[in-house]
Structure 1
Amino acid sequence: MLELSAKTNLLEENDYRYSLQDVKDPVLYRDVYNYDEVPKVAFNHRRVPTSMPADIWITDTSFRDGQQSMNPYTPEQIEHLFKLLSKLGGPYGLIRQTEFFIYSKRDREAIERCQALGLRFPEITTWIRATREDFRMVKDLGIKETGILVSCSDYHIFKKMQMTRRQALDYYLATVKDAFDAGVMPRCHLEDITRADFYGFVVPFVNELMELSHQAKIPVRIRACDTMGYGVPYTEVALPRSVPGIIYGLQHYSGVESEYLEWHGHNDFYKAVANAATAWLYGASGVNCSMLGIGERTGNVPLEAMVFEYASLRGSLDGMDPTAITEIADYFEHEIGYHIPPMTPFVGRNFNVTRAGIHADGLLKDEEIYNIFNTEKLLDRPAAVAISKTSGLAGIAYWINQNYRLRSDHQLSKHDALVEKLKVWVDEQYAGGRTTALSNEELEEKIAELSGGVLKPRH
């Protein structure tokens, strides 16, 4: 039958519902995913409409997926980073949630420390094994929502779980019922959705989830997980790789409202940020990220990237404080000991450094010529230059003032004795045949020598 859609204000057919296709053999999409070849992008020339929600936000998985790829954080470190997430998200909670493990005493201590802060955002959620005992533990901790794993591709259902689709669907529904019985809102992580039979399993399964949700009067959040980074943002791409198609299908054929729809991607093919932005554009309110993109294999969607993607799409940061991004990066490097590749956008040491002599000259005249935006205002990261044979006294003075964060009356002029001595040393390096720019470490070592250790860099 036809029904007037409240979302599009158009008459739409709503009588067709996809049913489970309980196939005998797994559907592995070997024409797309031939293990001995690069995965292929197939097009079917079908378009779905963009439909960005009224409200979009970021969620964080640093203390769950992020911790799976590095040494576990201490409860003290988690507490500090949690406070920085809250600062970054601003008063409207655009960093809406962050998820925790609850398995160990250390996990629970971290949760209790963050709860004691009394911060409204980010909301604390968990990720658990799908057992009744874990659901009770979530409830006892006073947490309202938890993530549970519901793998949806035949790679997982047939090969890992050794089940049929019907057996997996029934098992998942029983698990969700256990969550409802415990009074906990489940967040269903549809693992490996970009290799799943979307209309043969995913949509029928989510339809049954929605029915259970209505009966229990408890919402279900759907997290579409691009576990292997296979998703692509292009229009007219065929499922199962189409990010627009996945988001559209979950909304249009399973009735998942935007506020309960979230994208979780990985960066195996360098598409994590583009895919997350595409999920926003096509109807998901949430994109799941991790600080610095830390996560399994190539990592998750970098949280800091989506802060600026949000501002690009909305035209405003809406209260977010991006200077917290620099504080997060500093904390990871100096307190946790994590090495951030220097060219990493927004957080790497060299992300707003220009090296070519002619570029440095332009930067000195007007930094807007070679800087992406006012990085000093938005990130507390002034534009910088690298020292080479063409830098001159002014360039060297500029480098010292910026690298050591010297302000106002503490800044060195190009006539300062330290600047002149360093210029002599720089000229000697290039007179000896050097052609590349000097590294920060080389310059800092020489400045420490020339200044007697008085100047110390603030990275």
Structure 2
Amino acid sequence: MELQKCNYELEDVNEPNLFRHIFPYSEIPKITFNYKNIPICVPNEIWITDTTFRDGQQAISPFTAEQIIKIYDYLHKLDNNSGIIRQTEFFLYTERDRKALEACLSKGYKYPEITTWIRAKKEDFKLVKDIGIKETGILMSCSDYHIFKKLNMTRKQAMNQYLEIAAEAFEHGIIPRCHLEDITRADFFGFVVPFVNELIKLSNEAKIPFKIRACDTLGLGVSFPGVELPRSVPAIIYGLRHYCGLSSEYIEWHGHNDFYSVVTNSTAAWLYGASSVNTSLLGIGERTGNCPLEAMVIQYGQLRGNTKNMRLEVLTEIAEYFERDIKYSIPPRTPFVGKEFNVTRAGVHADGMLKNEEIYNIFDTTKLLNRPPVVAINEYSGLAGIAAWINMYFNLKGNNKIDKKHPVVQKIKDWVDKEYENGRTTVISNNELEALVKEYMPNILDVENVSIETDYKFLNRQNNKKIKLKTKTL
């Protein structure tokens, strides 16, 4: 028999508990262990939520209303009514944000559902009432760092303020999503559990559910087993379920990437019982960013074995839109969305790609993401790299493929070698290689049954240049 709920009472301490043995500040934070084994408990249903329009745009130049509407359309197109991208949240503080929210609401999309975010203040809640939204996030800082040092309150004062705004949400039939900011530095049993249990009482009286978003504000969460609170992601999710009795569908994880752990922590939240993980497109967000939405889409596919009817190729469209229209620079090696995430440079890898692209490509990126694998040519590419580039660039298949022993491959390699002998340090561009192939193999576009149109579209985008070639199907 397991005890499902414990009646922890608020510890209204006089001095903040800053966990100095874990967070000395003048040193790197510590990971402490208690070696307790917490069982994995994957919910029957898991999903993703989005904070691109809230936490995301805090970290970059604010989106225009038109950009917000366009990105919202992309999210809907990506989700494709699968319900995997369940919600997205909006600011309400500017006329621009309210205009964008109303335009997105008018589209009538089921997914992602539109929610909002406010501070735990009555004047903020009035904005939610006026807009007529069904659910809102409410900032409720839960660590003593925030309660004592930012809010200048005691734990009891903070709890009462949070409960007051939650009660107002219940009174107006709005689901409060309580954002427990900085939970990975909070006194879990001295504040978090007693506070959540008080929320449960209000919820039961109102007969309206509420949600808890566990916010790893500084990315301090740790995903592996045997770690003590407050840093343990498994212990936090388990504690919300076990000591508060919350169902998985009402628990959400929100992480940051300060310690390179945002994806593993979000995955751990799913594995240990949270139905929802909060993300942003391309991981944009405060400091090192939020959990990338695209990463969790792929994680969902790995855990569930499918992505339902999602349209994963839209991820490529989104990345191109951010770079082209928003002028946001995506690091080229960013998984799934960077221009070079599936570009091969090493000669030995190119040799493998020449034989079979599965050897060095993570999955069929052409089919799933509309991103053909690419071989970039430099001084280390060798004959195999050049042959692989020609086959991929000109989409040569079957008997039309050339191998590294082809005389034209040797001619091009000689040219490449001379470039680097003369001091070149940059990668050989697709334009240069294309010109060489057309010079040495003038009939390359007359090969029977070769369609080059799709690959050229992609590779032209990679170069950000226009390549004028025949576009007929040959």
Which residue number in structure 2 is paired with residue 204 of structure 1? Answer: 194
Does residue 1:222 correspond to 2:212, yes or no?
yes
* Contact 1:396 1:414 (C-alpha < 8 Å) held by counterparts: no
Question: 1:108 & 1:406 partners in 2: Cα distance?
Answer: 47
Does residue 1:43 correspond to 2:16, yes or no?
no
| Residue of 287, 297, 311 corresponding to 1:297 | 287
CA-CA distance at 1:219 after TM superposition: 1.0
CA-CA distance at 1:399 after TM superposition: 3.3
Which residue number in structure 1 is paired with residue 274 of structure 2? Answer: 284
* Deviation per residue, 1:329-359 (Å, 9 max, x gap): 1111111111111111111111111111121
Secondary structure at the counterpart of residue 188 of structure 1: strand
| Residue of 52, 61, 65 corresponding to 1:71 | 61
* Deviation per residue, 1:52-91 (Å, 9 max, x gap): 1000000000010000000011111111111111122232
| Residue of 219, 222, 226 corresponding to 1:236 | 226
RMSD of aligned alpha carbons: 2.8
* Map 1:109-124 → 2, pairs under 5 A: 109-124=99-114
* Deviation per residue, 1:84-125 (Å, 9 max, x gap): 111222322100000000111110111122122221100000
CA-CA distance at 1:255 after TM superposition: 1.4
| Residue of 182, 189, 211 corresponding to 2:179 | 189
Q: Cα–Cα, structure 1 residues 191 and 431, in superposed 2: closer, same or farther, change >3 Å?
A: same
CA-CA distance at 1:24 after TM superposition: 1.0
CA-CA distance at 1:181 after TM superposition: 2.5
* Map 1:346-385 → 2, pairs under 5 A: 346-385=336-375
| Residue of 441, 455, 460 corresponding to 1:457 | 460
Which residue number in structure 1 is paired with residue 134 of structure 2? Answer: 144
Q: Cα–Cα, structure 1 residues 392 and 157, in superposed 2: closer, same or farther, change >3 Å?
A: closer
Question: 1:127 & 1:232 partners in 2: Cα distance?
Answer: 26
Q: Which deviates further from its counterpart, 389-398 or 328-337? A: 389-398
Q: Cα–Cα, structure 1 residues 399 and 201, in superposed 2: closer, same or farther, change >3 Å?
A: same
* Contact 1:51 1:281 (C-alpha < 8 Å) held by counterparts: yes
* Contact 2:115 2:135 (C-alpha < 8 Å) held by counterparts: yes
Which residue number in structure 2 is paired with residue 17 of structure 1? Answer: 7
% of aligned pairs identical?
59
* Contact 1:394 1:413 (C-alpha < 8 Å) held by counterparts: no
* Contact 2:5 2:243 (C-alpha < 8 Å) held by counterparts: no
CA-CA distance at 1:14 after TM superposition: 4.5
Does residue 1:32 correspond to 2:22, yes or no?
yes
* Contact 2:48 2:278 (C-alpha < 8 Å) held by counterparts: yes
Question: 2:134 & 2:396 partners in 1: Cα distance?
Answer: 47
Secondary structure at the counterpart of residue 200 of structure 2: helix
Which residue number in structure 1 is paired with residue 469 of structure 2? Answer: none
Question: 1:15 & 1:362 partners in 2: Cα distance?
Answer: 56
CA-CA distance at 1:214 after TM superposition: 0.9
Question: 2:240 & 2:223 partners in 1: Cα distance?
Answer: 16
* Deviation per residue, 1:304-341 (Å, 9 max, x gap): 11111111111111222211111111111111111111
Which residue number in structure 2 is paired with residue 331 of structure 1? Answer: 321
Q: Which deviates further from its counterpart, 177-186 or 280-289? A: 177-186
| Residue of 315, 330, 341 corresponding to 1:340 | 330
Question: 1:444 & 1:282 partners in 2: Cα distance?
Answer: 47
Question: 1:175 & 1:139 partners in 2: Cα distance?
Answer: 12
Which residue number in structure 2 is paired with residue 6 of structure 1? Answer: none
Which residue number in structure 2 is paired with residue 309 of structure 1? Answer: 299
Question: 2:201 & 2:316 partners in 1: Cα distance?
Answer: 44
Q: Cα–Cα, structure 1 residues 170 and 182, in superposed 2: closer, same or farther, change >3 Å?
A: same
Which residue number in structure 2 is paired with residue 5 of structure 1? Answer: none
| Residue of 411, 429, 437 corresponding to 1:443 | 429
Q: Which deviates further from its counterpart, 280-289 or 78-87? A: 78-87
* Contact 1:139 1:183 (C-alpha < 8 Å) held by counterparts: no
Q: Cα–Cα, structure 1 residues 112 and 449, in superposed 2: closer, same or farther, change >3 Å?
A: farther
CA-CA distance at 1:141 after TM superposition: 2.4
* Contact 1:135 1:184 (C-alpha < 8 Å) held by counterparts: no
Q: What code does the residue aligned with 1:359 have?
A: H
* Deviation per residue, 1:270-328 (Å, 9 max, x gap): 01000000000010000000011110000001111111111111111122221111111
Which residue number in structure 2 is paired with residue 97 of structure 1? Answer: 87
| Residue of 134, 142, 155 corresponding to 1:165 | 155
Question: 1:287 & 1:116 partners in 2: Cα distance?
Answer: 26
Secondary structure at the counterpart of residue 73 of structure 1: coil
* Contact 1:99 1:127 (C-alpha < 8 Å) held by counterparts: yes
CA-CA distance at 1:395 after TM superposition: 4.2
Aligned length: 442
Q: What code does the residue aligned with 2:208 have?
A: I
Question: 2:197 & 2:392 partners in 1: Cα distance?
Answer: 56
Which residue number in structure 2 is paired with residue 259 of structure 1? Answer: 249
Q: What code does the residue aligned with 2:91 have?
A: F
TM-score, structure 1 normalization: 0.89
Q: Cα–Cα, structure 1 residues 115 and 357, in superposed 2: closer, same or farther, change >3 Å?
A: same
Secondary structure at the counterpart of residue 389 of structure 2: helix
* Deviation per residue, 1:29-63 (Å, 9 max, x gap): 00000001110000011122111100000000001
Secondary structure at the counterpart of residue 377 of structure 2: coil
Q: What code does the residue aligned with 1:159 have?
A: K
* Contact 1:86 1:93 (C-alpha < 8 Å) held by counterparts: no
